[in-house]
Amino acid sequence: MARFDYLEPRSLDEALRMLADGGNSTRLVAGSTDFLVRWRTGVWRPDSVVCMQHVPGLDHITWNPDDGLSIGAMATVQDIEQNGDVRSRYPALVAGATAFAGVQVRNLATVAGNVCNASPAGDTLPALLAYNAQCRIIGTGGERWLPMDEVFVAPGRTALESGEILTEIRLPPPAENTGGLYIKHSPRGAMDISAVGVASVVSLNADGTCASARIALGAVAPTPMRAYGAEGRLVGQIPDAANIAEAGRLAAQSCNPIADVRSGADYRREMVRVLTERTLSHAVATAGNPPSYDDIRRLAVQTAW
Amino acid sequence: MTTATQFKVLEQNHPRVDAYEKVTGRAAYASDVYLPGMLACKLLPSARNHARIVSIDTGEAAALPGVRAVITGTDFPDIRFGSGALRDRYVMPREVVNFVGEPIAAVAADDEATAQEAIELIKVEYEDIPSVVNPLSAMVEGAASVHPELESYEGYGFTLGHNVSTLLDADRGDVEQAFRDADVVVEDVYRSQGINQGFLEPMACVADVEPSGRLVVYASTQGPYQIRAGLAAVLEMPVSRIRIVPMELGGGFGAKLRLAFEAFPALLAMRTGRPVKLVNTREEVFTMNGPRLPVTNYVRSGVMNDGTIVAREAYTIFDVGAYLGAGPNSGIGHGIGAYRIPNFRLRSYGVYTNKIYVGSYRASGVADMTFAVESHMDHIAQQIGMDPYDLRLHNALREGDVSVSGAVVPSNGLIETLEAIKEKMEWPRQLEDGHGLGLALCEWRSGSGPSTAAISVNDDGTVSLLTGSTDISGSDTSLAAIAAEALGIPMGSVIVAKRDTDMAPYTGQSGGSRVVYSQGTAVQRAAEDTVQKLMALAAERLGVPEDALGCEDGRVYVMDNEPQGLTFAQLAAASITSRGGPIIGTAALSSMPYTPVFATQAAEVKVDRDTGQIKLLRYVQAQDVGVAINPMAVEGQLDGGVVQGIGRALTEDQQFDPDNGAVRNPSFASYLMPLAIDLPEIEDVLIRVPAEDGPFGARAVAEPPGFGPPAAIANAVYDAVGVRVKQLPLSGERVLAALNGDYDEIPFDVEALRLAEGII
């Protein structure tokens, strides 16, 4: 419970200045849901905290057919879960949002904060990876765009440089005939950190073959990760049961889970296989015909299928 | 049989007497106590699980501005105390630490942040001593010794050495012969996990020293008199110099039955002359205050082909951690379950290890025993090809049988609970693939122990009820209902006094299914005493003999001439100038007869064959409650208990580092209690076979609901997918391993234990 200076910038420029002044002993917070826990237990002891709550213009969620979905850095997980455009076009992200902690936490936590926290188990991250999201990053030297699969470096570490701020996350518009789902494996139906999370997004050609398949895995490696090998197995193929099963096996092979209080490593690997199959099957079955929000909620947290 | 219509107050739903205070947030808990000049207390946990304390340097901490006092073990009198008969611990270790997390220093400072800063400035030098974490390893000759001086401790009894703190036994009949005669012998080893009580309100207290030097402690506790005794022992003070004020209790489940951390702020208050508050964090609750520790259970039965169980052998190993915080009594008390088994040999071991000490939790150990015994029953049924329901019905205890303790079983509703579940669950039933049903029987006894009550009649005709019992799960409301029923007045006419140890007469703890049954009996008798005194006064005033009077609806009247009478208000007013003085009815008792409580529970599950995960679809319980004092409260207790049991069955698992015994998941983020979303509606059936004793025939309610879920669910999993998981929790990982055929039986060297005792 170390003391710190609490700073509330009113503009992005001011926030960047405060970050630059504070150097490495400053921490940027949005919803503070990760920060407060680690501060209270003494894991994080910053000298100052820069809170983004009063920086205007960062809490939007907008969609248009050309640019796709734009998520402002201060948009909460609850905003994502409740957004009609997200629900109709990005079901795997809605699943990640609804599987995320509980309502109280979702009301504060931001998607951008989930990215910057860079937990391998972050529930929105596999879907962001599977939708090929891009991150807009602003620093004192200007802005740059970074693809999501280059953001995560290590547990708790991103490719953001000191003094940089993630301001926007953009998801390209999904192709025709796209389906997707995220399933979180947890012993409990809510308020839990995932033992395994898998997101699959599949786009089908008119002939039923796979135009693209993106599979992302959570909590089974030091960072959230894409299962490129499994994806490659499906592209150009008919996603039938045999191909999906093979993709599941490849995804399981590609991950590198640990054993901890939640689960053993072998079980995690096996769950990657099962959840990859289940999310792929669902994505194929619902391609071009997104599931209802109630269906997503029912499927997002796997206690028993 | 008693029926609901006989009662005017009982068998009807009553909101809690403290409902307004609770829902408006006005009810005061220990952490709500703020006194002028109050300091904050923080604790330093041991970083080692077995080490000599070479030195503790508190100089820098004490010098920090805002710090008012720092204490370590040697600041307390050199006195060992214990939670039971065996005095095996210091309130704060003096020379040796025995578990990671054990508090070894405490600071009082102007605020919490300063106190915590000071804690981090304390320098401790440790010298490690060989330690042991696994109880089965601890029992082996040559294992590191947790308490090398065990035999010199006060209260030490018979053990077999090698870290065994306690060995209890129960024997009946010719066990060896019965096993030889049996058609089938079934043998299993079960293991249940560490369990945290999971109460909502962390431990909290405020200690204050009055100008006279008397110590006052505001505490979150189930046992104010027990804390008083504990404090008196460790501070070397007479109990009369201590007053405990029990505040509202935000859950306890056994964890708050005895002295916890109250001595630290107490000594700091005595050192500083200022009030000192200690409120634990959740992490401290998990790492400093005794949870339940893993239990390993070997059970073997000899069975005849017709299903009659003729012999039982059970060896139960209770890991007690660093100190015997709760005894292994349930190992013998519940080794045969709710069944008539004529020949048995039961052994129960409490074994020391270098991890957090064991504590009490909702009938300590009985849920572990029930998991083993009731899973074993289904295994027997499977071995002899009998329906699990029929096997239970065939062997169930009946009135007149002799219980494991030797007491004769009085009339009870065990068979009725079985039949109610059979009907409600439509047992036996064919289910779709992957679905299954499972049963468990639960048995307990209504809690006994010293109980007292006083009722005084106010001059508006209401009464004030005084007991020493702290309210637990709405027990104040039940006591008020008993008083109202016995006095013939409405619930609203009973005022339940807030009390402390100066004001109320001595009583036992609020725990062990004790309050409504024993304390409630004292209240009923005090009410009857009150009625008798009111009748005597009325007889005097009305000039009629007492036996000509009746008492109903807050009024004493002449039976032959009902309009002639006096209300309680009139009698109370009259009593002030009467010969006997103001009306006070009192009662006290020390113990109650053996009154069993039986329940049958059933689970319906669906098992995911790919992940091993279990979905609980239905949970039904039938319990013999005797008479439902307040049906709404009874169902609340039944539901709450079952939910705790479901957590034990499926997700809850307090884990320990295999090397140093440290708690690996000291948080509700990693210790997973079930949420509403995880639960089906719990269906309750109340069976009413009135107890021969107890208030108006009521039996205790609290403990049995939590016993059944692990076995009922494990049995349902077997029914669903044909695998028997003998370890808790029934995680997806374990069930999947069992489905894949790579589930390991738990190793247990029963021969070594038999040999050590000379049994061949």
| Neighboring chain A residues of B670 at a CB cutoff of 8 Å | 193, 261-262
Please check the confidence at residue B423 and state whether its pLDDT lies above 50. Answer: yes
Stretch B708-730: mean pLDDT, rounded?
98
Best mutation target, B107, B116, B611, to test chain A (most A CBs within 10 A): B611
Q: Enter the ipTM.
A: 0.95
pLDDT digits (tens, 9 = 90+) for A71-91: 999 999 999 999 999 999 999
Binary contact (A261, B655; C-beta < 8 A): yes
Query: In this complex, is the C-beta atom of B540 within 8 Å of any C-beta atom belonging to chain A?
Result: no
CB atoms within 10 A of CB B94: 15
Query: In this complex, is the C-beta atom of B733 within 8 Å of any C-beta atom belonging to chain A?
Result: yes
Q: DSSP letter string over A193-241? A: --SEEEEEEEEE-TTS-EEEEEEEEESSSSS-EE-HHHHHHHBTS---H
For B357-368, letters b (16+ CB in 10 Å) and e give bbbbbbbbbbbb
CA–CA distance, B646 with B664 (Å, rounded to integer): 22
Query: In this complex, is the C-beta atom of B6 within 8 Å of any C-beta atom belonging to chain A?
Result: no
Closest Cα in chain A, distance from residue B656 (Å): 10
CB within 8 Å of chain B, chain A residues 186-205 = 187-193
What single DSSP character describes residue A101? S
Stretch B416-434: mean pLDDT, rounded?
97
**Residue in A with minimal Cα distance to B673:** A188
Binary contact (A1, B733; C-beta < 8 A): no
The one-letter amino acid code at B20 reads Y
| Neighboring chain A residues of B607 at a CB cutoff of 8 Å | 304
Binary contact (A261, B611; C-beta < 8 A): no
Query: In this complex, is the C-beta atom of B651 within 8 Å of any C-beta atom belonging to chain A?
Result: yes
Rounded alpha-carbon distances, angstroms, from residue A89 to A85, A207, A288, B645: 6, 22, 9, 42
Name the band, by pLDDT with cuts 50, 70 and 90, for residue B744.
confident
Please check the confidence at residue B760 and state whether its pLDDT lies above 70. Answer: no
Name the band, by pLDDT with cuts 50, 70 and 90, for residue B159.
confident
Closest Cα in chain A, distance from residue B748 (Å): 24
Q: Residues A141, A20: contact at Cβ < 8 Å?
A: no
Neighbouring-strand partners of residue B352: B321
| Neighboring chain A residues of B731 at a CB cutoff of 8 Å | 187
Q: Are strands A26-29 and A48-51 parallel, antiparallel or unpaired?
A: parallel
Best mutation target, A3, A188, A193, A276, to test chain B (most B CBs within 10 A): A188
The one-letter amino acid code at B8 reads K
| Neighboring chain B residues of A271 at a CB cutoff of 8 Å | 611
Binary contact (B736, A304; C-beta < 8 A): no
Binary contact (B736, A270; C-beta < 8 A): yes
Binary contact (A303, B613; C-beta < 8 A): yes
Stretch A149-162: mean pLDDT, rounded?
96
CA–CA distance, B689 with B710 (Å, rounded to integer): 26
E strand or H helix that includes residue B436? strand B435-445
Please check the confidence at residue B4 and state whether its pLDDT lies above 60. Answer: no
pLDDT digits (tens, 9 = 90+) for B185-236: 999 999 999 999 999 999 999 999 999 999 999 999 999 999 999 999 999 9
pLDDT digits (tens, 9 = 90+) for A242-261: 999 999 999 999 999 999 99
CA–CA distance, B429 with B239 (Å, rounded to integer): 60
Give the percent of chain B with pLDDT over 90. Answer: 95
Binary contact (B615, A303; C-beta < 8 A): yes
A vs B: CB pairs below 8 A:
63
Q: What is the mean pLDDT of chain B?
A: 96
**Residue in A with minimal Cα distance to B607:** A304
Query: In this complex, is the C-beta atom of A261 within 8 Å of any C-beta atom belonging to chain B?
Result: yes
| Neighboring chain B residues of A305 at a CB cutoff of 8 Å | 608, 610-611, 613
Best mutation target, B119, B609, B672, to test chain A (most A CBs within 10 A): B672
**Residue in A with minimal Cα distance to B674:** A188
Binary contact (B113, A1; C-beta < 8 A): yes
Name the band, by pLDDT with cuts 50, 70 and 90, for residue A24.
confident
pLDDT digits (tens, 9 = 90+) for B559-606: 999 999 999 999 999 999 999 999 999 999 999 999 999 999 999 999
Binary contact (B678, A271; C-beta < 8 A): no
| Neighboring chain A residues of B733 at a CB cutoff of 8 Å | 263-264, 267
pLDDT digits (tens, 9 = 90+) for A121-154: 999 999 999 999 999 999 988 999 999 999 999 9
